Amino acid sequence: MAYDVRFISQADVESLGISMKEVMDGVETGWRMNGEGKTELPAKIGIHPRGNCYIHAMPCWIGGDTDMAGMKWVAGFPMNLEKRLPYNNGIFVLNDTETGVVKAIMDCNWMTTWRTGAAAGLGAKYFAAPDSAVVAVIGLGTIGKITLRAFKEVLPAMKYIKIYDPIAEQYGRFIDEMRELLPGVEFIKCGSVRDACADADVVTSCAPILDQPRRSVSADMLKENVCCITSDYDSTLCADTVSGGRSFVCDDRGQYLWTQEHGVYFQNGYPLAEGIYADMGEIIAGKKPPVLEGRRVCLFMGIASHDVMTAKLILEKAAEKDAGTMLKL
């Protein structure tokens, strides 16, 4: 028996005009529901067909009034930058929760980028000082840019953006794209990670995730009061930065610990279970207060509830505007 499925391409998603604020609101709601125990969120699993590459399966059901379920099948291949292909790409499948039938199949590149920026923005909303003026961005690719877009929503005093990337051309590309979005801020090109981190109130890292990380942000480079938000697993922040501060927060305690137990990431001095202050679900659900002094580290691997909440937003808008293509499965 055939049934209707809405197929939504990346171009369709881009045509919907979804704002960063809308994505942040959805991601925050999903996170709150994690903290309230209203989601089923197994740790993401993956396969690794090439060195430093992954293809992850990320299922999630969000219960309560949301009642949405789906799964992302997403690849991350760092060498794609040279091939002018996206680092992350793949599809998201949304299922009906009464019947299990597929309701929509959509590109997941836009979703992954925007919800990752949104998550970093929420890290800043809860853990950065509201008067943060100096922001350092380490890694000037897609996630670096979207993170700044989210910071704009929550860091009204942001005035100086210190940027670092090992590839010289990335500076110009980054500034050209960001200047229009942030007309009042000054971009400062830094020749080293240390230069970028000096005096920064917020440090965010978005470099490739590596099997053998060459971590570059050590605690001695940072101000005493600093908020570090990383989207690149353990590739950039040194263990002393992550473990020796005032608070360490991950996006989901279960996923972080499961991944650590499997032995590739978060080794060699990264926090164990007792070193986790809270996960963001607990913070947003009000079970633990945010911390605003000392060195606060938010390590966000990306969780499937972000994707389900973003897919919900995309599907609602697409249905409203009749965007995408109806297929028979």
Min. distance of Cβ 161 from ligand NAD in angstroms? 15
Min. distance of Cβ 165 from ligand NAD in angstroms? 5
Min. distance of Cβ 86 from ligand NAD in angstroms? 7
CA distances (Å), origin 106, targets 8, 31, 142, 315: 5, 22, 20, 9
State whether residue 116 is helix, strand or coil: helix
Q: Residue 153 or 232: which CB sits closer to ligand NAD?
A: 232
Which residue, among 104, 151, 98, 99, has the nearest Cα to 123 in the 3D structure? 151
Min. distance of Cβ 84 from ligand NAD in angstroms? 11
Q: Residue 201 or 232: which CB sits closer to ligand NAD?
A: 232
CA distance 313 to 266: 32
State whether residue 4 is helix, strand or coil: strand
What are the residues facing 6 on neighbouring strands? 104, 326
Q: Residue 35 or 123: which CB sits closer to ligand NAD?
A: 123
- Whether 34 contacts 281, CB under 8 Å: yes
Q: Residue 138 or 155: which CB sits closer to ligand NAD?
A: 138
Residue number of the CB atom closest to ligand NAD? 141
Min. distance of Cβ 5 from ligand NAD in angstroms? 25
Q: Residue 185 or 210: which CB sits closer to ligand NAD?
A: 210
Q: Where along the sequence are the contacts to ligand NAD (CB under 6 A)?
A: 76, 81, 87-88, 112, 116, 138-144, 165-167, 170, 206-209, 231-232, 300-302
CA distance 148 to 329: 39
CA distance 64 to 35: 13
Distance of CA 196 to the CA centre of its chain: 21
